[in-house]
Amino acid sequence: MPVQLFVTCLVNSLYPDVGKATVALLERAGHEVEFPVDQTCCGQPSFNGGFAAEAKQQARQTLDVLDATEGPIVVPSGSCAAMIIHHNPELLHDDPDYLAKAERVAARTHELTQFLAADGDPGTPVAGAATTTYHASCHALRWLGVLEEPKRLLDDAGVDRIELAGEDECCGFGGLFSIKAPEVSGAMMNTKIDQIEASGAEVVVGVDVSCLLHIAGGLRRRGSTIRVRHVAEMLAGDAE
Amino acid sequence: MEREQFLGRVQAALRGAVLPEIDGPERPPQVTFADPVHRFVETAAAVDAQVTRADSAPEAVAAALRLVDATAAGQDDRGYVAWEELDSLVPGLFDRLAAGGWKRIDATVGTDSRYEDHGRIGAASLGVTTADVAIAATGSVVLAHGPGRPRSASLLVAHHLVLLPVERIVSSLHEAMARVEWDTSNVVAITGPSRTGDIESILTLGVHGPRHLSIVLIG
Amino acid sequence: MTTFRNRVQDAFATGVPIAIDRGARGHYDKRVKAAAVFPQMEDMRDRARVIRAEVIASLDEVLAEFADAVAARGGKVFFAADAAEANDYIVNLARAEGVSRAVKVKSMVTEEIELNAALEAAGIEAVETDLGEFIVQLAGEKPSHIIAPVLHKDRYAVGELLAEQLGVPYTDDPTELNDIARKHLRSRFLSAEMGISGVNMAVAEDGAVALVTNEGNGRLCTTAPQIHVAVMGMERLVRTRDDLAVILEVLARSATGQGLSVYTNIVTGPRRSGEPDGPDQFHVVIVDNGRSATLGSRVAEILYCIRCGACLNACPVYRHVGGHPYATTYPGPIGKVLTPSLYGLEEWHELPATSSLCGACQEVCPVRIDIPKLLVELRQQSTGHMPRSIRVGLAGFAWVSTRPRLYRTLTRFVAFFGRWWSKDGWLRHVPFLLRGWRIDRDVPAPAPETFNDWWRKRGA
């Protein structure tokens, strides 16, 4: 059975390398990867912002595309996976047709590292990887329980991983929050970056590019040499 | 607002309330310990109570006197308030206190002489009580107030001394709640001496209530 | 009124006291430790949620039962529709009984109704007796945390304040500061004619109110004065003693990491004949003040709250800004839902937006209130207040999202032209909407080729 890749709008436009690495990992694990080309945005930014009508439009589009496919749906983003798994059924509770679709699609959807971990991915050693630390993205952690899976995958791949103090503290992104309250958001990000710098890691990894772009933007502003990578890139050996 | 009008507003609101489905356990989990007495000794010590064990009532009196003397060392004002039933629970305690220079203060507050009475009772530095039940899970002693059982004995004093038969120790707060008689105006569960962390979360003892809580277990 | 953002900017400009982050994290860590040594914690939380849910769902009946039980034990119940009714009742009672001084136990509901101001206006001295609240009152400030009101001050600031206000020698030793407050307040306890408390939880079947404090001021206020007035939000009820035990099991553990607070004080009426001490009168003032509107709304779940403060301690926003920029009685995650629902979303629409929806609050809530969901609900009701650029932008993006061919064309267009706007993968010029971002972050540029295009070339 094929695996459907829901790549997310941010990966599509900003970080296609994360998508490529995801394809490589899934194929390496023996899956046939399909990419439904009509996918767009899952609607999470609208949903979180309180724009229910817009979120519903995007959710219906996503569900139409994904429900027409078969096999597990894999998402290299904790927050978009949480949108599809948890928030779509909530959002569409008064729309019987789409509620059924939302529940079918939710049941087939997996965050990437949880999918790989359940798959028993043997882990291909990553050569010469730098000291790495893991930031737990909030939605992946609290809505999906993603924490041990990415760490185990990194460890199995022989990545030199050190724990991050305050790994479960929000980086301050929060989509519209960072636009509406940039000072608080920035303060949260700076705390996170202080923690990352204090860890001594050369690379910080996560499972959600939205948090990662926020952290990367702050690190660059500081002139830091710490690199930011998605777990998929690390596992696929694209750490540089 | 009149009661019926107020409740009518609540009823009307309930008709429009959007509430999650109620889904969960019908009973709380059980909290039980194989050896509640042992557990109590640990938990009470952990909340800064001083726990002493005595095999019999006479031993308890002796232990109580040692605690009282140690805490009041160098102190001239030796007034105390006590629960009346201690006379039968630990016979001889009041006499021994008197011999040690302790003067028992009447803790009764009159309706018309409340503030004068407060002046008298406020001079006591020691309060002696028993407890109706004690909780092993948290190291708490539970006191139901009533005739002969002034609240001030566990409240206004610097040192609160509790003489507690061990068979009154139960595992959990639930058991304690079930056992205590609420046919009174006030029940209190006391878990260690008065404390605060209000200033920079730095622990200090004895804010408004007693700074010292001693518990003598009997049996 | 200033905006939350302005107030945060001001707070950052003057420097948010480090004590806030340290204090909040300290409480948070204690909660984690307390839960770790109490294996029943998760099941107890589940049960606590059910208890609160059932009470809220039949609140009218539970309130009636409670009021009857209080009366049966010789107490008086007053139902207050709003703050003014509650304050009037208490002020009139104080006047009728010749009260010149009232001692108070820290209580959020009396902060909410601004009872102290009403008493002072009537010439009645109101003395806060919780150490932290006493300090806040001396400083003429507002509490910054619902259980640790003076979290924003360090001991040096407290030392200076007491020296200045009470004329005592300066000290920054917490034990000495504590002794100063104890001595100062003791005479006030013993001479006040009225004690005023809040209610942590009331028990309907017994007509009892439970008050938890660590210092003992709660017991003093409800014992020494001849009149005890307990003020409670109308939702602060459980049905039975057994249910009270469940709430107490999770309350202190969540708040301060204690198994129980030092004094769990259960008041079951005025003193009875033969009892040596206790108040001669017991009054309960049950306050609506916006709660019935909240109950009738889509965020009624917020009324499950037992005011432990755990969500404040867990909240990264709270840790960074403290309680004051919220400009409301109830700061932090709980306040972001409660404040707009009690006082109106029109005025308070900003608060629900000031969350990253990280979910740390829900994770620690002893009654598992889905705060992120309630925040999203309030955001849905206030999108009109979002900047026009965001509204138009999101609507446009959603419209494009439902047209996959157009979406592909536009994202390809952005990828193509992105090279002119960027350098080394970062935007050279930040769009106006993201101007706040520029303060401390760079903004990534679109990649030169979308994943979608890469995939199609790969297949070709």
Name the nearest CA neighbour of C200 among C307, C63, C286, C83. C307
If we measure between CA atoms, which residue out of C46, C78, C65 comes closest to residue C237? Answer: C65
Phi-psi domain of C140 (left: phi exceeds 0; alpha: psi -120 through 50; beta: other)? left
Asked if A54 and C394 come within 8 Å (Cβ–Cβ), the reply is: yes
User: What is the CATH architecture assignment of B36-218?
Assistant: 3-Layer(aba) Sandwich (3.40)
CB-CB: which of A57, A172, A221 is closest to C401?
A57
Q: Are residues A57 and A156 in the same domain?
A: no
Q: Which chains touch A (3 or more CB pairs under 8 A)?
A: C
**B50-82 pLDDT per residue, tens:** 999 999 999 999 999 999 999 988 888 899 999
Chain C positions touching B114 (Cβ under 8 A) are 226
What chains are in contact with B, requiring at least 3 Cβ pairs below 8 Å? C
Do B and A touch (≥3 CB pairs < 8 Å)? no
So where are chain C's domains?
1-37+310-386, 53-289, 388-459
Residue (of B105, C373, C446, B152) closest to A91 by Cα position: C373
- As a whole-number percent, the residues of chain B with pLDDT over 70 amount to 100
Query: Is there a contact between A170 and C437 if contact means CB atoms under 8 Å apart?
Result: no
- Amino acid found at C263: Y
Mutate to test the interface with C, among B40, B114, B208 (most CBs of C within 10 A): B208
Regarding whether A142 and A105 lie in a shared domain, the answer is no
Q: Residue A229: which CATH number? A: 3.40.50.1860
Selection from C208, C192, C190 nearest residue C200 by Cα: C208
Angle between helices C155-166 and C131-139 (to 10 degrees): 60
| Beta-sheet strand order (sheet of A109-111) | A33-34, A3-5, A73-75, A109-111
Mean pLDDT, residues A109-134:
85
pLDDT at residue number B194:
94
Cut 0.80: pTM above it? yes
* Distance between CA atoms of residues B133 and B172, nearest Å: 10
Nearest Cβ partner for C446 among A14, A37, A220:
A14
Domain endpoint, select from A90, A117, A144:
A117
Secondary structure, 3-state, chain C: CCCHHHHHHHHHHHCCCHHHHHHHHHHHHHHHHHHHCCCCHHHHHHHHHHHHHHHHHCHHHHHHHHHHHHHHCCCEEEEECCHHHHHHHHHHHHHHCCCCEEEECCCHHHHHCCHHHHHHHCCCEEEECCHHHHHHHHHCCCCCCCCCCCCCCCHHHHHHHHHHHHCCCCCCCHHHHHHHHHHHHHHHHHHCCEEEECCCEEECCCCEEEEEECCCHHHHHCCCCCEEEEEEECCCEECCHHHHHHHHHHHHHHHCCCCCCCEEEEECCCCCCCCCCCCCEEEEEEECCCHHHHHCCCCHHHHHCCCCCHHHHHCHHHHHHCCHHHCCCCCHHHHHHHHHHHHCHHHHCHHHHCCCCCCHHHHHCCCCCCHHHHHHHHHHCCHHHCCHHHHHHHHHHHHHHCCHHHHHHHHHHHHHHHHHHEECCEECCCCHHHHHHHHCCCCECCCCCCHHHHHHHHHC
In a domain, A93, yes or no: yes
Chain C contact for B127 (CB, 8 A cutoff) = no
**For residues A52, A55, A60 and A66, what is the CA-based torsion angle, rounded to 10 degrees?**
-140
Distance between CA atoms of C363 and C374, rounded to whole angstroms? 14
Q: What angle do CA C433, C439, C440 make, to 5 degrees?
A: 115
Which chain C residues are Cβ-neighbours of B147 within 8 angstroms?
274-276
Whether A200 has a pLDDT exceeding 80, the answer reads yes
- A90 and A163 assigned to the same domain: no
CA atoms within 13 A on the CB side of A118: 9
What is the predicted pLDDT for the residue at C329?
92
Per-residue DSSP letters for chain A?
--EEE---HHHHHT-HHHHHHHHHHHHHTTPPEE--TT----SHHHHHHT-HHHHHHHHHHHHHHHHTS-S-EEES-HHHHHIIIIIHHHHTTT-HHHHHHHHHHHHHEEEHHHHHHHHT---PPPTTPPPEEE---HHHHHHH--SHHHHHHHHHTT--EE--TTTTS--S-TTHHHHHSHHHHHHHHHHHHHHHHHHT-SEEEES-HHHHHHHHHHHHHHT---EEEEHHHHHTT---
Q: Is B112 on the interface with C (CB under 8 A)?
A: no
Answer yes or no: do A130 and A190 share one domain.
yes
Structure tokens at B153: 């004995």
Tokens of A145: 């329980």
What confidence score (pLDDT) does residue A239 get?
52
The ipTM estimated for the assembled molecules is 0.96
Residues of B with Cβ-Cβ distance to C22 under 8 angstroms = 200-201
Q: Which residue has the tokens 């507003």?
A: B9
Q: Please report residues of C whose CB lies closer than 8 A to that of A232.
A: none
Q: Mean pLDDT for each 10-residue chunk of chain C (460 residues)?
A: 90 86 92 94 98 98 98 98 98 97 95 96 95 91 88 90 93 91 89 96 97 94 97 98 97 96 97 96 98 97 97 97 93 97 94 96 98 98 92 96 97 91 88 85 94 91
Domain assignment of residue A240, yes or no: no
**Cα–Cα distance list, B34 to B29, B37, C250, C440 (Å):** 16, 9, 23, 57
8 Å CB contact between C294 and C342? yes
Mutation pick from C8, C350, C356, C407 vs chain A, by most beta carbons of A within 10 Å, is C356
Q: Are residues A30 and A79 in the same domain?
A: yes
- C53-289 domain in CATH 3.40.50.10420? yes
B217 shares contact with chain C (CB less than 8 Å):
no
Q: Which residues of B touch C158 (CB under 8 A)?
A: 199
CA dist B157 → B151, B205, C32 (Å): 10, 13, 34
Size of interface B-C (CB pairs under 8 A): 291
Give residue for tokens 């390809």.
C412
**Chain B positions in Cβ-Cβ contact with residue C73 (cut-off 8 Å):** 185
Token digits of residue C435 = 């101007």
Window 53-92 of B: residues touching C by CB (8 A cutoff) are none
Instruction: Please state the length of chain B.
Output: 219
Strand (E) or helix (H) holding B128: strand B126-129
A64/A94 same-domain check: yes
Q: What pLDDT score does A120 carry? A: 73
Which sequence spans correspond to the domains of chain B?
36-218
Q: Which residue of B has its CA nearest to C301?
A: B19
Cβ-defined contact of B17 to C370 (cutoff 8 Å): no
pLDDT at A129 exceeding the cut of 70? no
Rounded to an integer, the average pLDDT of B129-144 is: 98
- CB spacing of C189 vs B209 below 8 angstroms: no
Backbone φ and ψ for C210, nearest 5 degrees, come out as: -105, 135
Mutation for C interface: A9, A13, A135, A143, most C CBs within 10 A: A13
Confidence (pLDDT) at A123: 66
Length of chain A (residues): 240
Q: How confident is the model at residue A147 (pLDDT cuts 50, 70, 90)?
A: very high
Both structure tokens of C415: 């990828």
pLDDT tens digits for range A168-199: 999 999 999 999 899 999 999 999 999 999 99
Identify the domain boundary among A102, A117, A132: A117
Give the chain A residue nearest C25 (alpha carbons). Answer: A166
What band does B6 get if pLDDT is binned at 50, 70 and 90?
very high
> CB within 8 A of C452, min separation 6: which ones?
A7, A12, A35, A37, C408, C411, C412
Pairing of strands B126-129, B186-190: unpaired
C439·A182 Cβ contact <8 A: yes
Chains interfacing with C (3 or more CB pairs < 8 Å): A, B
B185 neighbourhood in chain C, CB within 8 Å? 73, 267-272, 275, 278, 282
Quick one: closest CA in A to C3, which residue?
A181
- Would you say A208 and A140 are in contact if contact means Cβ atoms under 8 Å apart? yes
- Chosen from C56, C131, C263, C277 to mutate, greatest number of chain B CBs within 10 A: C277
* Domain's final residue, options A67, A87, A117: A117
DSSP 8-state class, residue B117: H
Where in the sequence is the domain holding A85, given as residue range(s)? 3-117
Pick from B28, B109, B190: which is nearest to C246 by CB? B28
Is residue A8 one of the residues assigned to a domain?
Answer: yes
Nearest CB neighbour to C249, from listed B109, B149, B173: B173
In contact, B120 and B106? CB cutoff 8 Å: yes
Number of domains in chain A: 2
Using an 8 Å CB-CB cutoff, list chain B residues near C222. 186
CB neighbours (10 Å) of residue B113? Answer: 12
Quote the pLDDT of residue C82: 97
* DSSP one-letter string for B154-219: GTTSSEEEEEEEGGGEES-HHHHHHHS---SSEEEEE-SS-EE-TTTT--EE-SSS-SEEEEEEE-
Burial bucket for residue B62 (CB in 10 Å: 0-12, 13-18, 19+): middle
Query: Contact A48/C451, CB-based, under 8 Å?
Result: no
For residue C229, the one-letter residue type is V
Q: Please name the residue of chain B whose CA is at the shortest distance from the CA of residue C58.
A: B14
* Residues of chain B neighbouring C217 (CB-CB closer than 8 A): 207-208
Quick one: pLDDT at residue C189?
87
Task: Give long-range contacts, CB 8 A cutoff, 24+ apart: C402-405.
Answer: C402/A40, C402/A57, C402/A58, C402/A60, C402/A61, C404/A37, C404/A38, C404/A39, C404/A40, C404/A61, C404/A65
Other CB atoms within 10 Å distance of the CB of residue C154: 18
Closest CA in chain A for residue C12: A183
Instruction: Name the phi and psi angles at B62, rounded to 5.
Output: -65, -45
Name the residue with higher pLDDT: B218 or A129.
Answer: B218
Question: Do residue B189 and residue C155 have CB atoms under 8 angstroms apart?
Answer: no
